[in-house]
Amino acid sequence: MKRKRINIKIIIFTIMMLSTIIMPCFSRQAFAATTTSDIIAEAKKHLGKPYRWGGKGPNSFDCSGFVSYVFKQFDINLPSYIGYEGDSIHNYGQVVSNISDLKPGDIVIEENYGHVGIYVGNGNIIHAANPKDGVKIGPIYNYVTARRIIKDTPVTPPVPVNPYEEIDRIIFDANFYADANTDVRDIYGYDYDKLYQHWQEHGKKEGRSPSAIFDPGYYLANNSDVKDAVGNTYEGAYIHFEKYGYKEDRVLSPVFNMIYYKQANSDVKALGSNLGILTHFMKYGMNEGRVASEEFNPGIYAQRNSDIKDAFGKNYKKYYDHYIIHGRREGRVCH
């Protein structure tokens, strides 16, 4: 019986080809498994370091600068910026929509794409929180979405649902929208994506406010040229605001007047664009209790309404929200 000769060269070639397929997969899995704990360990080295706007480390950080710095120590390059537009951290990695699916090492995005941290487990993130606390570990607040970084490859950004997505994301506050619209909250809870979709598909037509910063009815009443141009329709008010209004020095709501906010806050005026100023008010101004209109002063609102002060303490943003949702209708003293 004649034996078949085994071609050693073919076997070696086959093994080499298989290794080029198998090894990269193994390497990616090992990378994802091992760097997660390393990333958290690196992040914890910076606990207690000070918060500084624009800080990118290693001695001080802002929220996005902190996340970017930590991942950079492992040759994972992420932008030191978080926001819905531009080259933002949220454009990288795999999307983690549900908070229940989070794993340690995931990048958690909060507060209307305005804050970011690294998930450490048990509902907590490590993040550059604010000037008072610096880098700390604390509970997730106002979860929007998360990203799981497997490799340094950008994913395709979500397709905007409308041409004014950028400004809409800036002025939308899911917590406010839920609290101001209990019928919607009863259905969707505080789910950011579902609340945002409801506002886009129904809320604008119905005249529902996305946050304390913009009230379509107030916008029409206090900008007569807009009312003359679009009629007395809420949808028209939104369209005008998105196309023109936010670029102009308009009165947007009882608590926000663009001209007043610029004049009362010289550091804000230095930001230049109205888009940047709106972003500042949503992310920082309300939390700092800055006065942005003649009609509303959060400090006076707290002093003259002791029940509200007892409820909210120094959480100034709650004063703005309460006044728009309840206080104005109740005739509360606010200035």
3-class secondary structure per residue, 226-243: HHHHHCCCHHHHHHHHHH
Number of structural domains (the chain) is: 2
Asked if 172 and 320 sit in the same domain, the reply is yes
Whether residue 214 contacts residue 253, with contact meaning beta carbons closer than 8 Å, is answered with yes
Predicted local distance difference test score (pLDDT) of residue 95: 87
Answer whether residue 27 shows pLDDT above 80. Answer: no
Answer whether residue 4 is part of any domain: no
Instruction: Please tell me the distance from the alpha carbon of residue 159 to that of residue 146, in angstroms, as a whole number.
Output: 17
Whether residue 111 contacts residue 283, with contact meaning beta carbons closer than 8 Å, is answered with yes
Question: Which tens digit of pLDDT belongs to each residue from 31-53?
Answer: 444 468 889 999 999 999 999 99
Asked if 125 and 169 sit in the same domain, the reply is no
Q: What is the mean pLDDT of the chain?
A: 84
More confident residue, 81 or 208: 208
Quick one: what percent of the chain has pLDDT higher than 90? 58
Answer whether residue 86 is part of any domain: yes
Predicted local distance difference test score (pLDDT) of residue 74: 86
Q: Which residue range(s) make up the domain with 42?
A: 36-148
Answer whether residue 61 shows pLDDT above 60. Answer: yes
Asked if 187 and 322 sit in the same domain, the reply is yes
pLDDT band at 63 (very low <50, low <70, confident <90, very high): very high
Asked if 118 and 218 sit in the same domain, the reply is no
According to DSSP, the residues that pair with 260 across neighbouring strands are none
Asked if 170 and 318 sit in the same domain, the reply is yes
pLDDT band at 156 (very low <50, low <70, confident <90, very high): very low
Asked if 120 and 192 sit in the same domain, the reply is no
Whether residue 70 contacts residue 43, with contact meaning beta carbons closer than 8 Å, is answered with yes
Average pLDDT over residues 167-192: 94
Predicted local distance difference test score (pLDDT) of residue 89: 86
Q: Which amino acid is at 266?
A: S
Whether residue 156 contacts residue 165, with contact meaning beta carbons closer than 8 Å, is answered with no
Q: Count CB-CB contacts under 10 A for residue 137.
A: 16
Asked if 91 and 232 sit in the same domain, the reply is no
Q: Which residue has the tokens 């008072």?
A: 132
Predicted local distance difference test score (pLDDT) of residue 106: 93
Instruction: Please tell me the distance from the alpha carbon of residue 118 to that of residue 124, in angstroms, as a whole number.
Output: 8
Q: CATH number for the domain including 75?
A: 3.90.1720.10
CA dihedral 37, 39, 44, 47 (to 10 degrees): -160
Asked if 141 and 168 sit in the same domain, the reply is no
Asked if 313 and 176 sit in the same domain, the reply is yes
Going by the DSSP 8-state scheme, the letter that residue 203 receives in this structure is: I
What is Dmax (Cα atoms) for the chain? Answer: 106
More confident residue, 186 or 157: 186
pLDDT band at 23 (very low <50, low <70, confident <90, very high): very low
Predicted local distance difference test score (pLDDT) of residue 1: 44
Which stretches does DSSP call E strand in the chain?
94-96, 107-110, 115-121, 124-128, 135-139, 143-148, 251-253, 256-257
Whether residue 140 contacts residue 110, with contact meaning beta carbons closer than 8 Å, is answered with yes
Question: Which tens digit of pLDDT belongs to each residue from 274-332?
Answer: 888 999 999 899 999 999 999 999 999 999 999 999 999 999 999 999 999 999 999 98
More confident residue, 25 or 118: 118
Predicted local distance difference test score (pLDDT) of residue 333: 81
Quick one: what percent of the chain has pLDDT higher than 70? 85
Predicted local distance difference test score (pLDDT) of residue 220: 94
CA dihedral 308, 313, 315, 316 (to 10 degrees): 60
Question: Which tens digit of pLDDT belongs to each residue from 220-263?
Answer: 999 999 999 888 899 999 999 998 998 888 899 999 999 999 99
Predicted local distance difference test score (pLDDT) of residue 241: 93
Answer whether residue 28 is part of any domain: no
Asked which of 88, 123, 148 is the last residue of a domain, the reply is: 148
Asked which of 148, 182, 203 is the last residue of a domain, the reply is: 148
Predicted local distance difference test score (pLDDT) of residue 325: 95
Q: Which amino acid is at 66?
A: F
Answer whether residue 110 is part of any domain: yes
Average pLDDT over residues 57-78: 92
Predicted local distance difference test score (pLDDT) of residue 7: 55
Q: Count CB-CB contacts under 10 A for residue 78.
A: 25
Asked which of 85, 116, 148 is the last residue of a domain, the reply is: 148
Answer whether residue 67 shows pLDDT above 50. Answer: yes
